Every structure is written in C-alpha cells, then in structure tokens.
Amino acid sequence: MVGIGCPHASIDQMRRYAALLDGKQVHSDTQLWVCTNVVVEEMARKMGYVAIIERAGAKLMVGDVS
C-alpha cells in the first residue's frame, strides 16, 4: 500500500500525480491511495485529473477541509 498527499494533496500535486500516472497502470500487487480534501477533489475532477488517477488504478481518500 502506498499513500500520497497526506494529509491533503493540493491541486498542483493532483496535477503532478495525474501527469505521472497518465497512460500507466498501478501494479496489481499494489494499492495506491491519494489523499485530498473535498475542495481539491472537486477541482481535480473538473480538470480531469481524478479520471486519469483512477484510470491508472489509484483510489482517492477524501476528507474535509479542516
């Protein structure tokens, strides 16, 4: 298991994660979790970053802004 973005990834980090994962696949023996907050998750979804991250096999863990 790999966790990144703790406590919460910024929108710039989400952009970088998407760029690194674009066209790639998380290894089947690995879980990749990206932690962010609801505000960044919404922005990243609108910008297409979440789709790229999830297509690569990573999962989002979304917490509140506090």
Name the residue range of residue 16's domain: 2-63
Q: The pTM is what?
A: 0.91
- Summarised one tens digit per residue, pLDDT across range 6-30 is 889 999 999 999 999 999 999 999 9
- Tell me, what amino acid is at 17? Y
Give 63's pLDDT tier (boundaries 50, 70, 90).
Answer: confident
- From the DSSP assignment, how many helices (H) and strands (E) are in the chain? 3, 3
The 59-63 sheet, strands edge to edge: 2-9, 32-37, 59-63
CB 13 within 8 A of CB 44: no
CATH number of the domain that residue 21 is part of: 3.30.499.10
